[in-house]
Each structure stands twice: as structure tokens, then as C-alpha cells.
Structure 1
Amino acid sequence: MTQHTSELDQAIAQRLEPWTDRLGADRKAYFHHVLRVLRLADLLFARSGGPGEPPSAREEFRTAAVFHDLGIWAAGTFDYLEPSCALADDWLIAQRREDLTDVVGAMIRDHHRVRPAGSATDPTELFRRADLIDVTFGARRYGLPYSAYSALTRRYPDSGFHFKLVELTVRRALIHPLSPLPMMRW
């Protein structure tokens, strides 16, 4: 396993280890995306002044982050929300954390909602916002300074993640022109 600099990096690398072959050349790109999303959730949470542990220390956020897009590779589809939820459910059950299946499922299913999924401190909305910041290269930041996003991309480089998203979108649009982004929700 590659040397990682923090407990969070190690925990995420360990959770992704079984998916190394499926992720293939996209492993580093996805690993970095997961870490950027978690760190962005931490920044948003700190900005909100909410009590408790930061999202990256919470099981529901770590699980949602690891599995939220994994269905793309595991199920070989761009309509990946339900396959990603199923993977997360299986993992939570194996970890005897069935108590988190509902919240993790909501976080995954709604991470591409167009409209807010709750208050700014609601776990689903916090996760949605963190993912959107990363997917938009920091163009949409919910009050975070661009320098914060830029620092994260230096620590966890894109490694082709956004190019992969464009590639998948184009491929899907050619095959399903009336449904190019099946993961989007209102």
C-alpha cells in the first residue's frame, strides 16, 4: 500500500483497497476526490460553527465518501447511485453499522441534487455541497475562499478525475441522448 500522510488518508486507502482492480488507472483520481470531498465537508462544517466531530471523523461521511461514485466502476454504469448505495449498505452491514444505512443512502442518493437537501449543517446537504465544490473545480464554494480549495488540490491533485467525468458524460450522451446525466436529482 502507498504511504499516506494522515489517519484519514490511511483509513480511506484501506476502504478502497478491495476496489483497486476495478478502479484501475482511475484509483488515484478517485482516492483524491474522496479525500477532497471529506476535507471540504470539514471546512464547510467548521464555517457553520456546528457542534461535534468534523465530518471526516464520522463514519457516515467516510462511508458515503468512499462509496458515493464507486458504482461507476463496480457496476460499470453512469447510472450509479443505486449501485453505490448497495455497495455502501453491504459495507455497513459487514461492519455491523446498519444504523447508518439510511443516512448514508440519503447522502449518496442526493449528492447530485439540484436543490438543497436540507439545512447547511444537515449531513446530506453538507455532503452534497462538498461534492459540488469539487466537481465544479471550486467555482461553487458556499462561502469558502478559493484558496482553501486550491490548497486541497495541491495536497490531493485531480489526477484526471474531472477528465474522467467528462469522458463518461460524453459516452453516456452518445448512447442515451435523452438521459445524459441520470444521477441528477431535483
Structure 2
Amino acid sequence: MSQIEIKLERPRVEELFSRYKHLIGDDYLGYRNHVYRTITYAMHFLGNDPELEQIVETAFVYHDIGLWTDHELAYLEPSEAVALKDNEEFGWGLDPDELQGAIHWHHKITPYKGAHQKVIEACRKADWIDASMGMVRKGLSKETIKQVEDAFPNNGFHDTLMRLAKDLGGSTLVGGIKVTKGIVKW
């Protein structure tokens, strides 16, 4: 695999976030950097195909957004709904099935097979790398993951997930169970 391309600026991502930054609040920088890391990994798996950049960037800005827009631990469906609404309202012209699929299946444990497999599978692998903080590498070297993490520091993102599990679930344990039941797919 070729060296990973790290884009420090993604104007589309910043534009998409501008509508939700106030809702994300203090969690913004951590979530933003998570989004940049996952986009970087997914685009690498997709050979940095510029034709796929818009769908990948959009899917990742919205993939966890339901945590903040709907205050839901089972956030996949709320995140999908916000993305699909904005896609239609703002006339982005993204394939709604591909956009929804990239969000819906990003926590799937086993490889995704089906429509839009290339993009959905790249997004799935990218999120697993970042969610596991590089323990799951999906073929990337530790050095490559460190490069991406150094470019986009964690800024407490994983701590935010634990806090939200506790705050929205009543306790970290109950929230963790709700998250797992609500988002993990087989």
C-alpha cells in the first residue's frame, strides 16, 4: 500500500460542520479530528479517488452526529436521518442509499458485502481503526496510524464517548450496553 495522504484542510468538512458546531459544543475538536482521521483512512483504502471524496467526507461528518442532534446512544438511525435530510435540502446530489449505508454499517464487525460495498467497506474499516485507537489496524502499519493521529490529535474524543454513554445512559455500564445494542452490526 502506498504512503497515506494526509489533508490538513477539508473545506467541505468545515462547511458541513458549520451547521452543527454549536450543538457539538466542547466536544467539537475531538469529534472533528476523529472525522478527519477516519476520512484519511477511508480515502487511503479507496486509492484517494477524488470522485469518492464527497461521499466519504459527508458520511463521516454525519456518522455519529445523532449523539448531539438527538442525544441518542443508538445514534445510527438519527445520524442517517440528519444526513439524508441535509442531502435533500441542500441539493448535494449524493446517492442516498450510499450515504445511508456508509453511516448505517460503519460499526459492522464483519466485512460488508452488498450495494456500494467499496465505499461502505472503506468507511467501516476506517472507523474500526480509529474507534480502537489503532489496536485494529486493517492492514495499516502502526507508523501510518501514528502519522494520522499526530496530524489530528485525539483531543479527548474517546473520553467524550465514555462521558456520553454515562450521561445519556444513566451509567457508563448501562450506556455502554445501550450503545453496543444500538450500533454494533453483524
Report what 2:140 is aligned to.
Answer: 144
Check if 1:185 corresponds to 2:177.
no
TM-score (norm 1): 0.84
Structure 1 residue 20, shift from structure 2 partner:
1.4
- Measured in 1, the distance between the counterparts of 2:141 and 2:175 equals 37
Matches for 1:14-163 after TM superposition, within 5 Å: 14-46=15-47, 53-54=49-50, 58-118=53-113, 122-163=118-159
- Measured in 2, the distance between the counterparts of 1:40 and 1:177 equals 26
Structure 1 residue 169, shift from structure 2 partner:
3.3
TM-score (norm 2): 0.84
* Structure 1 residue identity aligned to 2:119: P
* Structure 2 residue identity aligned to 1:160: G
- Measured in 2, the distance between the counterparts of 1:146 and 1:111 equals 21
Matches for 1:162-181 after TM superposition, within 5 Å: 162-171=158-167, 172=169, 174-175=173-174, 179-181=178-180
Against the structure 1 CA distance between its residues 66 and 177, is the aligned structure 2 distance closer, same or farther, given a 3 Å change threshold?
closer
Q: Unpaired runs of 5+ in structure 1?
A: 47-51
Structure 1 residue 147, shift from structure 2 partner:
1.0
Q: Unpaired runs of 5+ in structure 2?
A: 1-6
Structure 1 residue 178, shift from structure 2 partner:
5.7
Report SS of the residue matched to 2:126: helix
Of 145-154 and 66-75, more deviation after overlay is shown by 145-154
Q: Cα RMSD between the aligned structures?
A: 2.2
- Measured in 2, the distance between the counterparts of 1:142 and 1:129 equals 6
- Measured in 2, the distance between the counterparts of 1:177 and 1:30 equals 18
Structure 1 residue 100, shift from structure 2 partner:
1.2
Report what 2:4 is aligned to.
Answer: none
Structure 1 residue 114, shift from structure 2 partner:
1.4
- Measured in 1, the distance between the counterparts of 2:58 and 2:71 equals 20
- Measured in 2, the distance between the counterparts of 1:178 and 1:126 equals 26
Paired residue total: 174
Structure 1 residue 142, shift from structure 2 partner:
1.2
Name the % identity. Answer: 26
